[in-house]
Amino acid sequence: MRVSYKGCEQDFNFRLAEINFTENELSTMKRIEFVKAMETIARAVNDENIFMDWLISGVADGDIKANTEDDELEYYTEDDTFAELMDTFLCLMSNAKKNGGLYVDGIVSK
């Protein structure tokens, strides 16, 4: 499958039909877990300019803190917002792969 978002194109080896993100299949609680996971991974991007795109188009800086309650993140779980957030994350990962990868615990991805 070829994904294009904001001038970024990437091929992925899965079909969206295999990953069903409808409200019936993925509860708000699971979506919040997914949003938190995307935020954690996005913060490991090893290029500040690419990461800034996430802060602008993804999860706003400061929206997720150690003490953030799940209900404070429900905005991100609305169908259209969640779908757009996933697209933004995929573009972020594609750009990160091309420009510095991820940096975690002193290790940079190859």
Q: Is residue 8 part of a domain?
A: no
Count Cβ atoms below 10 Å from residue 30 Cβ, excluding itself.
12
Q: Is residue 59 part of a domain?
A: yes
pLDDT of residue 16: 46
10 DSSP β-pair partners: 3
The tens place of each residue's pLDDT in the chain, 110 residues long, gives 454 455 555 555 544 445 555 554 558 889 999 999 999 999 999 999 999 999 999 998 889 988 999 889 989 999 899 999 999 999 999 999 999 999 999 999 98
Q: How far is CA 36 from the centre of its chain?
A: 9
Q: Is residue 4 part of a domain?
A: no
pLDDT of residue 14: 47
Q: Which residue has the tokens 């996971």?
A: 37
Q: CA-to-CA distance for 20 and 14, rounded, in angstroms? A: 12
pLDDT of residue 6: 52
Q: Which domain holds residue 84?
A: 26-108
pLDDT of residue 29: 87
Q: Is residue 21 part of a domain?
A: no
Q: Is residue 32 part of a domain?
A: yes
Q: CA-to-CA distance for 90 and 48, rounded, in angstroms? A: 17
Asked if 82 and 31 count as a contact pair (C-beta separation under 8 A), the reply is: yes
Q: Is residue 2 part of a domain?
A: no
Residue burial 59-79, b: 16+ Cβ < 10 Å; e: rest: beeeebeeeeeeeebeebbee
* Count of domains observed in the chain: 1
pLDDT of residue 110: 80
